[in-house]
Each structure stands twice: as C-alpha cells, then as structure tokens.
Amino acid sequence: MNDVIKSDFLVIGSGISGLIFSLEASRHGTAAIVTKRGLTDTATSLAQGGIAAVVSPEDSFEAHIHDTLRVGCGLCHRGVVEAIVRAAPERIRQLSELGVEFCKAEGSDEFDLGLEGGHSHRRVLHVKDHTGRDIEEALASAVRQEPNIIIFENHMAVNLVVRDNEVLGAYVLDTESAEIRRFASRVTVLATGGVGKVFLYTSNPPHATGDGIAMAYRAGASIMNMEFIQFHPTLLYHHRVHSFLISEALRGEGAVLLGADGERFMPRYHPDAELAPRDIVARAIDAELKRTGADHVYLDISFKDSAWIKNRFPVIYRRCLEAGIDITSEPIPVVPGAHYCCGGVKTDIAGRTDIKGLFAVGETACTGFHGANRMASNSLLEGLVVGHNAALAASEMLDRPIRADEIRPWDPGEATDPDELIVISHTWDEIRRIMTNYVGIVRSRKRLIRARNRIDFIRREIEQFYWDFKITPDLVELRNIAVVAELIVRMSRMRRESRGTHYNQDYPREWDQAVDTVLRKGYSPVA
C-alpha cells in the first residue's frame, strides 16, 4: 500500500482531546484518527476522579480561577486559566448531551460534586470512580458513527513531515503489517498523551511514551516547562498489580495517609494535610519513606461505611480486592508515581504551535493552564476545552492544500532487521531507572548532571540504532522516551529554583519572578 492517505485533519491520538477535536472538526471536513492501540486504550479511560467545573451556585469562576493559580505556583498563564474555567459549564453540557451520566446527589437533580486537593469548593463532576472511562466511551461512540472520520487503530506515528516550517502530514507505522504508511493533511493534530513511561513507576498506560512531544521537538516546534512532572502520591503498591492509581477522591472523602508505624503524618507537612496540593503530598510521602526506610505508606478509608465505599469507589474496591486487599477493612499500601506532565509542546489556547498547520492538545500540549503544578481534575477539563477550541481554529485552515506529492515514500536505506532486541529492552530500562533515581520527586545539581551525561550518551546510541535497523514499535518508543528524558533533564537544569512539582534541594527557594522554560531544536541554552 504505497498510496498516500489523505484527509483534511490528521489526528494522532484518541484520548479526550483528540476525540473531541475529531468529532467537531468532522463537521467541516474529513478526519483520520491514528492511534497506537485500540481507540479507547488511552489515559483518559483510566481517569478515576473526575472533571472540574463550576456548576454549583455555591461555587464561582473566581474561586476556580484562584485555586488553579494558587496550585500552579505562580506559573499559570492567567488569561488561559480564566478562559478555560469560564468555558467549562458549556463543555460539561456537551458531554451530558453525548450520554455521559455524571452522578447526581441522592434524591436530587443536582450533581454530586467531589472535593479534591487544591480545590476550595466541591466542583468535581464524576461517574463514581470511572469518569474517564465513561467520557472516553461516549466520545468514541459518537466518533464511530461519524462518516467523515476514518479510524486507524494499531498505527503509531514515527515522524512528522515538515517543509519550510509547515507540517504536511506524518509517516505512520502499521504495527500489524510493519509497513510505514504516508498520511497527508491540511492540519495535523498531536494528541498522544503523556510521558509517564519515562519513569519506572507511573499511573499512565504502557504506551505513554511522549511520542507527540518528541516528534514535535524533532520537527522544530517549541517545547515548554518539561521539568514539571507531577507525581501522583498514591499508586497501589503491590508486586502483582502495576500502574493502578488510587484516586485523590478518596482523600477528598476523608481518607488519611499513615506511615509504616500506623501514625498519620500529613498534618506535620501542611495545614491542609491530605488535601494539600499533589506536589506537597508526594514530597511528604517521599520524605517519610526516606526517614523510615519503608518502601510504601498506607492510605486508609476503612473507617467509612462499607456499603458507601463499595458504591462510591467500585473500581478501586474490586481491583484492590483482586490483589487481596479489602479497602473496607484495611489500609491500602501506596507509593508515589509519575502521573502527569504539566509541560509539553508550546501552544496557545486553541492548540496552535509555532509550526504552521500543526496543533497539539491535551497532555501533549503546554498552554500555561497548569503552571508548575496541575490541580486535580483540571486535566480532562483542559483537554476538552482546548480540543474544542482547536477544532474551531483548524476549520479556518481548510484553504491550505494537501501536499501529498511532497511526502516521499519511506526509504529504509540499508537498514536490516534488529539482531539484538535485548539492546532495546535494556536501554529502555536504563533510561527509566536513571530518570527515577536522578530526576524524580527530589532533584539536585549532581543528580541532574549524572542524568544528563548518561542520557546524552544513550541518545546518540539510540539514534545510531534507529538508522541501522528497521523500524519496530519498541524502537520508535525507545527513541521517543530518550528525547523526552533529555528535554526533562535539560529544562530541570535550566530552572535553578524550586517551584511546584520541580523541587531541587540545591535551590530550595522560588525566583521572585515566574518564567517559563522553552527549548526548540537548534536553540540550546546552557543546560
């Protein structure tokens, strides 16, 4: 199949932002969705807590804006925050019309709103503890029914095609046939999700390898604030269960963190205790683990009514029970893990990048909404609003030609089949251990220098491997996590302060003025 696949919009990724973009853009033209696994195998599907929005008369836009700015530690772009927060109620109505049934208070038509860390009011709409799954399924159902949308599952983008700072489309690997296919479009949208698999412990799905960020960087787009990796304080700690998140909503409903001695410790670290911002809770747990030598702490909600727990948190209850933990009668062993990337491809509030025709949305993008620390349940909101905005902006670019003839067939050159696949798996493991040990919750100058030296060497080694051997999914992902790791390390070294999720023990104070860190290929500040 050497023909070029043409569409008005090429959407790479199928989480909440990619699907809402595709659905709305399809009213103006054709859309091709490229997704690495199945359509609904996304981080959105794993989101438990909910989506933040002002829908109660007891709440206000001003309060939501203030909370977001406060949790973002001075780095949020105020205009972006105001616009996204004010757009939230309309987007919630849209989801409801698509069939998302947010929980209502018992015996009432009012939403049953949750409270999570950083929020001053109950404003988190949820569907028990599987909100993301219900949103993803509703959007996917609508997308599947749209004749203007073609879905390419088990396809992963390899590289963007850019000429004179304009994107023409992308080279895409069909992971079932191993063929590299050409996709050409008027507009290309990166919606590939986060970077969690750059670290050993993460709540992200196994394919969250920062593909969109890495491709955008290689193509010359600006990347912003990658040092701000949010570690979720509470991943289930169990030898058989990996990457399972214990939602912050449990702490919002009163769950407390206990040390190995069974004593509560969060009041020693922050006046808001368990409801402090995530960066503070994660660092507190990290400090307790280092102080005691334990390898996990506990989250306890067992003092609540058993029937209530099972009804409010059915997925968490069942998953923990499968692991031999009854959360209605015993505490849950937990440990922090990489959860959300507050940085990404630099965009405006409509997802526009500094490459013409290229958009980025969702966790792949950095609009300035989250600042240095994302407030709980603001991510689904941002993905929804910016995905909607991007569809409106992209529909105004349909006068751009589809330059399919300028995308040359993929040339593997003299590449051969990989002869030592173990090199890929070992290098993948090495990068993740370096990042976890040296660029984790607590950083230092020495740790970052060690990480830089090792990652620089590994990156060169991977690039040689990439050109010598034929493309495989593992090689594409390895190449991308190496780029993302390099960006995180370089930007962490550029930020000689501690702010939000970036904590450097050699620079424990904030600068007087908050500034973004920005990198693009060919522009290299000393880092």
182, 278, 283, 490: the catalytic one is: 278
The strand pair at 365-366 and 358-360 is best described as unpaired
Give the other-Cβ count within 10 Å of 93's Cβ.
12
Residues ≥6 apart with Cβ < 8 Å to 69:
76, 78, 81, 371
Three-state SS for 49?
A: coil
* Contact between 232 and 245 (Cβ < 8 Å): yes
Could you say which DSSP state residue 373 is in? S
Q: Report, in this order, helix, strand and coil percent for the chain, each rounded to 5.
A: 40, 20, 40
Query: How far is Cα 116 from Cα 370, in angstroms, rounded to an integer?
Result: 16
Query: How far is Cα 140 from Cα 134, in angstroms, rounded to an integer?
Result: 10
Give the other-Cβ count within 10 Å of 330's Cβ.
13
Which residue type occupies 396? E
In degrees rounded to 5, what are phi and psi of residue 11?
-115, 120
* Contact between 368 and 351 (Cβ < 8 Å): no
First to last CA, the chain: 44
Beta strand extents in 225-368 (DSSP E only): 229-236, 256-258, 297-300, 332-341, 344-346, 358-360, 365-366
Three-state SS for 143?
A: helix
Distances (CA, A) of 102 to 46, 97, 142: 16, 11, 18
Angle, helices 379-394 vs 131-144, to 10°: value is 20
Query: How far is Cα 159 from Cα 494, in angstroms, rounded to an integer?
Result: 27
- The reply to whether 278 belongs to the active site is yes
CA 286 to chain centre: 22
Three-state SS for 264?
A: strand
Take residue 303 and report the two structure tokens written for it.
Answer: 């003092």
> Annotated active-site positions, please?
278
